[in-house]
Structure 1
Amino acid sequence: MEWTSYVGPLMQGAWVTVELTVYSTLLGGLFAFLFGIGKLSPNVLIKSVSVAYIEIFRGTSLLVQLFWLYFALPVAGDALGIDLRLAPVTAGVMALALNIGAYGAEVVRGAIQSVPHSQYEAAKALNFTPRQVLWRISLPQAIPEMMPTFGNLAVQNLKDTALVSLISLGDLAFRAEQIRNFTQDSTTVYTLVLLMYFGMALVVTALMKLLERYVGQWRMVRR
């Protein structure tokens, strides 16, 4: 078979990979802010839940998390009389988002804590509420500091999407394995896949750099 015949199926898989990356990165970003801010909360319950989430999902394998959501969760639901079966794409997005969110939460927490303490003292002197301090003082200064690390996490998340092929989701890695099994042309197939992942990583990096540049303007404006 000509290598050009591989491109169509691989592009179909690449589109699934792009969807997984976009959805899980956005959802993971939401988790990062929720639980990163939650870890700094004076509320013991909110802080405890946030710490538990971060430690569990940073301390366990993404592959095991994926298998638990797809294979173990439905069994637990059946025992409780609840249908908790997830579609492969849902399980994939959730596992990726929960995993990247846990790492992102520590980035958010660290960036917020890096804001000079004098800023908080000034806000207290102006009688700012905790919500005003968060939205007007902490986040505008902390978000620019988070962006380089968030860019790295987004690229890592793209590469981690290959694991969803293990639950029969037709992403790029799954399509590549199908073609390789049919043609036994491992060199050509995986060279194409390597280049496609590299190309997608370059696009993600470029987009994150643009976002980083835009957010970086906040720091300049506040100065």
Structure 2
Amino acid sequence: MSASREPGGVLPVLLPVRPVPGPRMRLRPVHGLMIGLGAALLSGAAAAQQAGPAALAPLEVVVKWAPLLLTGFIFNIAISLMAMLLGTAAGLWLGLGLIAVQPLLRGASWFATQVFRNAPWLVLLFFVMFLLPFQVTVFGLRIPLPDWVKATGGFALPVMANVAEIVRGAVRSIPNTQWEAAEALAFTRRQTLWRIILPQCLKRMLPPWMNLYALVAMATVQASIVGVSEMLTLTAQVHAAEGGRPELFAPLYGFALLCFFLYCYPIDRWTARLERRFQIA
């Protein structure tokens, strides 16, 4: 604080001191993740020292089992990719059904979209797991359906419904003048849709489609509940193999968190970049 004296007065006036501007530190989500993982590893290391010299340190346990855990993580990614492929293919046709001219087709598509879009993903997963048989017979040939195949189908159902809404919203966002111009040029509705409307919808559908894929990739851990040997299942098995030591909870599951974060966070940043590039609100 500094004081000043006016010419005809006797009382000093205290003036506030302006703070000197300095560099500001901006924390990003990756900083918080690193701080949390570091704290988890430090706490685990302290607990391992108390447990005795024979027990491996938490970081050593993570390094020891990292190849197996990464194999499970790759399996998660494979399930998410196949679910997106199936769901996108089915959702495209379901989305076109939402804008169909026939009322019956439009109503049936709307009903299917609302059911699979508003149902919990875990409920759909259990529904598919118990509805589909363990094997199917085609022309006398028995084809097994393992759990991971049925889990992929379970994740594809909500993907289908959400992709249908993405397609419907993208088509509705195209100005009506495009339809009118195509009609003036004697294009049929099918030609207008496939040659004029849908190509313009690609840049509108890509950002929400990528966001949906990130959600599917993170949701694949729910497959562990129905017995699929993915990363979360293997993490629990590794923890049991190490004697169920409590200090290993944070490092092992923190490693799984780190893998999903490093995979999904770039997708989120890329999605935001595409939204800014295409100027999509």
Partner of 2:213: 154
Taking the aligned partners of 2:73 and 2:109, their CA distance within structure 1 comes to 34
Letter in 2 for 1:14: F
1:209 Cα deviation from its structure 2 partner? 7.8
Partner of 2:222: 163
Match of 1:94 among 137, 150, 153: 153
Letter in 2 for 1:45: L
The 5 A counterparts of 1:49-64 are: 49-64=108-123
Match of 1:187 among 250, 258, 263: 250
Higher relative CO (CA 8 A, sep ≥ 6), structure 1 or 2?
1
Identity value in percent: 28
1:92 Cα deviation from its structure 2 partner? 1.2
The reply on whether 1:175 has 2:175 as its aligned counterpart is: no
Summarize the Cα distance change of 1:87–1:44 in structure 2 as closer, same or farther, 3 Å threshold.
Answer: farther
Partner of 2:190: 131
1:49 Cα deviation from its structure 2 partner? 2.6
Contact 1:73/1:85, CA 8 A, preserved across alignment: no
Summarize the Cα distance change of 1:27–1:149 in structure 2 as closer, same or farther, 3 Å threshold.
Answer: same
Taking the aligned partners of 2:271 and 2:156, their CA distance within structure 1 comes to 17
Taking the aligned partners of 1:56 and 1:74, their CA distance within structure 2 comes to 23
Taking the aligned partners of 1:90 and 1:51, their CA distance within structure 2 comes to 27
The reply on whether 1:32 has 2:91 as its aligned counterpart is: yes
Taking the aligned partners of 2:205 and 2:71, their CA distance within structure 1 comes to 33
1:109 match: secondary structure: helix
1:100 Cα deviation from its structure 2 partner? 1.4
> Where does the alignment leave 5 or more consecutive residues of structure 1 unmatched?
78-82, 217-223
Partner of 2:173: 114
Contact 1:24/1:97, CA 8 A, preserved across alignment: yes
1:155 Cα deviation from its structure 2 partner? 0.3
Contact 2:128/2:150, CA 8 A, preserved across alignment: yes
Residue by residue over 1:26-82, the C-alpha shift from the partner in whole angstroms, topping out at 9 and shown as x without a partner, is 11111221111111111233223311221111121111111111124449x9xxxxx
**Which structure shows the higher helix fraction?**
1
Aligned length: 208
Partner of 1:48: 107
> Where does the alignment leave 5 or more consecutive residues of structure 2 unmatched?
1-55, 137-141
Taking the aligned partners of 1:84 and 1:163, their CA distance within structure 2 comes to 25
1:180 Cα deviation from its structure 2 partner? 2.2
RMSD of the alignment, in Å? 2.4
**Which structure shows the higher strand fraction?**
2
Partner of 1:14: 73
1:128 match: secondary structure: coil
Contact 1:69/1:86, CA 8 A, preserved across alignment: no
Letter in 1 for 2:204: E
Q: TM-score, normalised by structure 1?
A: 0.84
Q: TM-score, normalised by structure 2?
A: 0.68
